[in-house]
Chains A and B, each alone.
Chain A
Amino acid sequence: MNFSRTWSIYVKELVDLLRDHRTLLAMIVVPIVLYPALMLGGIQVLSTQTAELEESRFVIAFQEKSHWDDVIAPMLQDEITLLQARRAKAAADGASEELLAAMPKPVAPLIDPKITLNLEEAVRSRQVHCGVIVESAGNLQVPGQEQWRLKLLYQPEDLRSQVASERLTAAFERVADSVVERRLRMRQLDPVLIKPIVVAREQLTSAGSVLGLIVPLILVLMTITGAIYPAIDVTAGERERGTLESLMVCPVPVIDLICGKFMVVSTIAIIGAALNLASVTVTVFLGGFQQMLNMGAAEGEAGFPFWALPVVLLCLIPLAVLMSAIMIAVCSCARTFKEAQNYVLPVILAALFPGGIAALPGSRLEGLNLVMPVGNMVLLTRELLSGAHVPAASYAWVLLSTCLYAVAAVALAANVFGRESVLFADSVSLKAVFNRRLFRPAELPTLSSAALYTALLFPIWFHVQNLLQISSDDAVAGAIRGTALLLPVLFVLVPVAAMSYWRVELKKSLRTAMPSGRFLIGGVLIGLTAWIPASELFVFQDAYLASPPSLVEMNKSLMAALESMSLPMALLCLAIVPGVGEELFFRGFLLSAFGTKLKPWTAILATAIIFGVFHFIIFRFAVTMGLGIVLGVLCWRSRSVWPGIIAHVLHNGLAVYTVYNEGWRRSIGIPESETWPVHLPWHVILVGGGIFLLGIACVIVRSGQPPVQAEPAVG
């Protein structure tokens, strides 16, 4: 990639877009007007609704007039007396105005009684809010054993009906309590006797907490919409205005073009996100809505977390980048502005769906939500804006997964934009994209297809792992067996099926050719000793980034699970299947695809990072990535996947075997796992490390012919 040319494209597109008043309108005016309007309007609507419910009257139906006149009305009259007494007592005790205002109000003055025979029908058809059936009645004033049986009919779907039923129930209970109290006193008993626990509920959420749920979703959506107009303008717009052809005859690679365009769309989306955020801040600050954004925080507690705003902005950047890439990929298929707008709509809906799920009050930033595209950002923003503490690992998951999706989308955009069929087609036919007869046989999978599959696989694999742990009775052992079953399917069978469908040469892509002997020997040596540098690396990391107790717990449960399995089964599930499957995927499929566009070292590093990420434990990331680099070099140098498989299987197998046979470990003086992580004994480091380096030497020392780099795939 030629950066100065990409920069020229970037500058030109930026000038072009900023001279367009439509961009400025969408970018600046909308956020400045939207948030104040939304907050003021939203709060007014909400408070009006709440006030309406407080003041609204309820129509309550009875079967006979006497039920109201003789039973319920006196009962509710008792409630009025009770509450008045309570209020008078509170006022005498010096309660504040607000406290008095917050005290329960009697329900009787709000009731419009209605007499009708068919109560059920009346409630169902919403003619009345509640129905009260008096099943048996006695005289409340007469001391004794009498019991009154009432039945309340209401409709939970109707908010008014529900509120009516709640208020009636509360009134009846209050009256019942006072009757009980009276009865006890008559028998010279203390009412405390039957009321050992008194619960006072204090509700602290306000109308604004709903805004606290919605504002993050709107922020995220506005960031997404910020990318739409520029994305259409630089792709479909360019085609519609007839400038695309003259651009494509310039001696500039498509990837440079797309990167310049993508950078500009991202810039505009990020500026838009920043302006949106600034507008939220100003609205909150000037409008005095701070309390309302903090869900559940008591009065006087930490106000609106202004410190979180730069963090929120930083988090919105990867999202802006991701959506810019997706929009460019989608709009590249369109010939006209209008067509592009049609394509964009489903994308927004698709983004709205996870975003909406995340905006539900019950959603939390954990589990699958951490890697849910868009949704994770809504949740993260919400947590940050509510002033909650977000663990570093959660940040890492959200940002990492979003970046991964963004890379895949950029790769896809470059692939789509440069395609001849898209460039000149009168219409892009989906059928043609999947018509096997039209595919040219290719030697290797393309970078964009591999990146796309990896990005899709990431949340799927994350979900599968979580699901396996939940679904099996014996969590860890079940998860191990389930993983061993699904890993070959997702990491080998699906990519192999896709590659053979798109006519990609399997043998070359998966690098299944036999290498020369020295690489096999190197693989064996590395596989037997890689645990030594891995263990030392972990000790080193532990000094700076202490591993949490949960990791030790996890290791313990893993070992316990292993002991419940037979050795051959454990070896199969934890050494052979992952060894073969992961090598075929990461070093076969992925490294081949990455090698078509990236320099060898970049490709090895990229696959190693993805390899580390797919192991899902942040504290093992460095070690896994290190192993990924060694295995990547092994595969690249030998041009074969076999030495890596040998090394990987041996490495994992050795770890499993250690659990079953601690004896050999003690015999070479390795400390017990309880004291872990600690340095290995010096003699082990020296001898084992020596063998490891020997293995590396077998791999990297050049023999006669230099290794040939893989040719880029065609088409």
Chain B
Amino acid sequence: MAMIEVDNLTKEFHDSDGRAFRAVDGLSFQVEAGQIYGLLGPNGAGKTTSLRMLSALMTPSSGRITVNGYTVGEHVFEIKQSIGFLTANTGLYQRLSPRDVLRYFGELHGFDKQQARDRCEVLIREMDITDFSDQRCGTLSTGQKQRTNIARALIADPPVLIMDEPTLGLDVMSNRVILDFIIAQREAGKAIILSTHYLDEAETMCDMIGLLHRGRIVAEGTIDELRERADAVRLSSIFLKLIHAHDPLEGVLP
């Protein structure tokens, strides 16, 4: 069984007049352990909404999600325990130190004080946080914040990582930290979903790519399979071609 299974997922929103709008419309895909699945798509394609439903932050309107054998809607806490969640604009508590933050999230994940302290020290060593582990987060550099954030996402050593545009707006150095971390986690056998705007990033990192457009997957496969289907080499051209084929009126890159 795949680590993440998404089956016919939909999410409807309503505006203030009660008109329905489908942000996600019959989405299905699977992610195996040790695999990076790239979720690509223009703005408003439904990437963030899908990832929020996967992390049990939102309730799906219909469809089924299984993570690590648990079903969204039924096993909310087990699912949250199995997931590490990271986005580029995830903030840290400005007035706490990285050590405080990690211990706090450890306790929130059900560790007792000693366990939380131990796990926190392990992550501080692994993520190379030692030098600034007692500074207040408000004073850290962007790269230091990113490393702290990664450590936070890994606090419960989850088998699944969900990354919603984790490198958005980061400089080259911080970017590298994140990408190295993602690859290392794949080596460690985690199932990873990566939603991104940077196509070259997706090209080099993802084992599988799903092109999301208007809440549906319009094409799915390895980068080579997609190249073949679209008869193009660069992912950006593939992206444009496939979306254009699906929706001739569309065709503008975000």
Contact surface of A with B, Cβ cutoff 8 Å: 4-5, 8-9, 12, 15-16, 19-20, 241-243, 245-252, 420, 423-424, 429, 431-432, 435, 437-438
Q: Is the CB of A420 within 8 A of B58?
A: yes
- Return chain A residues, CB-CB under 8 Å to B91: 241-243, 246
- Return chain B residues, CB-CB under 8 Å to A20: 95
Chain B proximity of A253: nearest CB distance (Å): 8
C-alpha gap A419/B56 in the complex (Å): 13
- Return chain B residues, CB-CB under 8 Å to A423: 57
Most buried by B among A8, A246, A247, A248: A246
- Return chain A residues, CB-CB under 8 Å to B89: 242
Q: 9 pairs across A/B with beta carbons < 8 Å? A: A243-B93, A245-B87, A246-B152, A247-B108, A251-B78, A251-B108, A251-B109, A423-B57, A429-B16
Instruction: Say whether B132 faces chain A, with CB atoms less than 8 Å apart.
Output: no
- Return chain A residues, CB-CB under 8 Å to B64: none
Q: Is the CB of B105 within 8 A of A431?
A: no
Q: Is the CB of B110 within 8 A of A12?
A: no
Given contacts A246-B152, A249-B80, A432-B14, contact A9 B108 (CB under 8 A): yes
- Return chain B residues, CB-CB under 8 Å to A12: 93, 96, 100, 104
Contact surface of B with A, Cβ cutoff 8 Å: 14-18, 52, 55-59, 76-78, 80-81, 83, 85, 87, 89-96, 100, 104-105, 107-110, 112, 136, 149, 152-153
Chain B, residue nearest A17 (CB): B95
C-alpha gap A9/B105 in the complex (Å): 9
Given contacts A15-B100, A16-B95, contact A251 B77 (CB under 8 A): yes
Chain A proximity of B93: nearest CB distance (Å): 6
Chain B, residue nearest A715 (CB): B59
Q: Is the CB of B90 within 8 A of A243?
A: yes
- Return chain A residues, CB-CB under 8 Å to B87: 245
- Return chain A residues, CB-CB under 8 Å to B81: 251
Q: Is the CB of A249 within 8 A of B57?
A: yes
C-alpha gap A8/B106 in the complex (Å): 10
Q: Is the CB of A15 within 8 A of B52?
A: no
Given contacts A246-B152, A249-B83, contact A438 B14 (CB under 8 A): yes
C-alpha gap A438/B18 in the complex (Å): 6
Q: Is the CB of A251 within 8 A of B110?
A: yes
Interface on chain A toward B: helix, strand, loop, or mixed SS? helix
Chain A proximity of B165: nearest CB distance (Å): 13
Q: Is the CB of B104 within 8 A of A8?
A: yes
Given contacts A16-B95, A242-B90, contact A5 B110 (CB under 8 A): yes
C-alpha gap A707/B45 in the complex (Å): 48
Chain A, residue nearest B96 (CB): A16
Q: Nearest 3 pairs between A and B by C-beta?
A: A242-B91, A251-B80, A8-B107
- Return chain B residues, CB-CB under 8 Å to A241: 91-94
Chain B proximity of A7: nearest CB distance (Å): 9
Q: Is the CB of B57 within 8 A of A250?
A: no
- Return chain B residues, CB-CB under 8 Å to A250: 80, 105, 108-109
C-alpha gap A252/B18 in the complex (Å): 31
Q: Is the CB of A424 within 8 A of B90?
A: no
If A19-B136, A420-B59, A435-B17 are given as contacts, then 20 extra A-B residue pairs at C-beta distance below 8 Å, sorted by A number, are A5-B107, A8-B108, A12-B93, A12-B96, A15-B96, A16-B93, A19-B95, A243-B91, A245-B85, A245-B90, A249-B55, A249-B57, A249-B85, A250-B105, A251-B76, A252-B108, A420-B58, A424-B57, A437-B14, A438-B14
Chain B proximity of A14: nearest CB distance (Å): 11
C-alpha gap A693/B197 in the complex (Å): 72
C-alpha gap A267/B27 in the complex (Å): 46
- Return chain B residues, CB-CB under 8 Å to A4: 107, 112
Q: Is the CB of B16 within 8 A of A431?
A: yes
- Return chain A residues, CB-CB under 8 Å to B93: 12, 16, 241, 243
Q: Is the CB of A243 within 8 A of B92?
A: yes
Q: Is the CB of B77 within 8 A of A246?
A: no
Q: Is the CB of B90 within 8 A of A246?
A: yes
Chain B, residue nearest A239 (CB): B91
- Return chain A residues, CB-CB under 8 Å to B112: 4
C-alpha gap A16/B96 in the complex (Å): 6
Q: Is the CB of A431 within 8 A of B17?
A: yes
Q: Is the CB of B16 within 8 A of A435?
A: yes
C-alpha gap A252/B106 in the complex (Å): 12
Chain A, residue nearest B162 (CB): A249
- Return chain A residues, CB-CB under 8 Å to B52: 424
Chain A, residue nearest B164 (CB): A245
Chain A, residue nearest B52 (CB): A424
- Return chain A residues, CB-CB under 8 Å to B95: 15-16, 19-20
Q: Is the CB of B14 within 8 A of A435?
A: yes
Chain A proximity of B155: nearest CB distance (Å): 9
- Return chain B residues, CB-CB under 8 Å to A5: 107-108, 110
C-alpha gap A375/B136 in the complex (Å): 42
C-alpha gap A432/B21 in the complex (Å): 14
C-alpha gap A252/B93 in the complex (Å): 18
Chain B proximity of A312: nearest CB distance (Å): 33
Chain B, residue nearest A242 (CB): B91
- Return chain A residues, CB-CB under 8 Å to B77: 251
- Return chain B residues, CB-CB under 8 Å to A245: 57, 85, 87, 90
C-alpha gap A220/B152 in the complex (Å): 41
Chain A proximity of B235: nearest CB distance (Å): 28
Chain B proximity of A715: nearest CB distance (Å): 9
Chain B, residue nearest A433 (CB): B16
Chain B, residue nearest A257 (CB): B108
C-alpha gap A9/B76 in the complex (Å): 20
Chain A proximity of B9: nearest CB distance (Å): 15
C-alpha gap A429/B19 in the complex (Å): 14
Chain B proximity of A127: nearest CB distance (Å): 59
C-alpha gap A15/B94 in the complex (Å): 12
Chain A, residue nearest B57 (CB): A248
Most buried by B among A9, A243, A420, A438: A243
- Return chain B residues, CB-CB under 8 Å to A424: 52, 57-58
C-alpha gap A63/B153 in the complex (Å): 91
Chain A proximity of B178: nearest CB distance (Å): 16
- Return chain B residues, CB-CB under 8 Å to A252: 108
- Return chain B residues, CB-CB under 8 Å to A435: 14, 16-18
C-alpha gap A640/B239 in the complex (Å): 61
C-alpha gap A435/B17 in the complex (Å): 8
Most buried by A among B90, B93, B112, B153: B93
Chain B proximity of A443: nearest CB distance (Å): 17
Chain A, residue nearest B95 (CB): A19
C-alpha gap A423/B59 in the complex (Å): 12
Most buried by A among B59, B107, B109, B152: B107
Most buried by B among A243, A251, A435, A437: A251
Contact of B18 among A8, A247, A248, A437 (CB under 8 A): A437
- Return chain B residues, CB-CB under 8 Å to A247: 108
- Return chain A residues, CB-CB under 8 Å to B94: 241
- Return chain A residues, CB-CB under 8 Å to B96: 12, 15-16, 19
Chain B proximity of A80: nearest CB distance (Å): 73
- Return chain B residues, CB-CB under 8 Å to A243: 90-93
C-alpha gap A250/B82 in the complex (Å): 10
Chain A, residue nearest B77 (CB): A251
- Return chain B residues, CB-CB under 8 Å to A420: 57-59
C-alpha gap A251/B92 in the complex (Å): 18
- Return chain B residues, CB-CB under 8 Å to A242: 89-91
C-alpha gap A250/B85 in the complex (Å): 9
Contact of A246 among B16, B58, B76, B85 (CB under 8 A): B85
C-alpha gap A432/B80 in the complex (Å): 29
Chain A proximity of B125: nearest CB distance (Å): 22
C-alpha gap A241/B56 in the complex (Å): 21
Chain B proximity of A622: nearest CB distance (Å): 41
C-alpha gap A436/B185 in the complex (Å): 46
- Return chain A residues, CB-CB under 8 Å to B55: 249
C-alpha gap A429/B13 in the complex (Å): 13
- Return chain A residues, CB-CB under 8 Å to B136: 19
Most buried by B among A8, A420, A438: A8
C-alpha gap A248/B153 in the complex (Å): 12
C-alpha gap A491/B95 in the complex (Å): 49
C-alpha gap A399/B189 in the complex (Å): 58
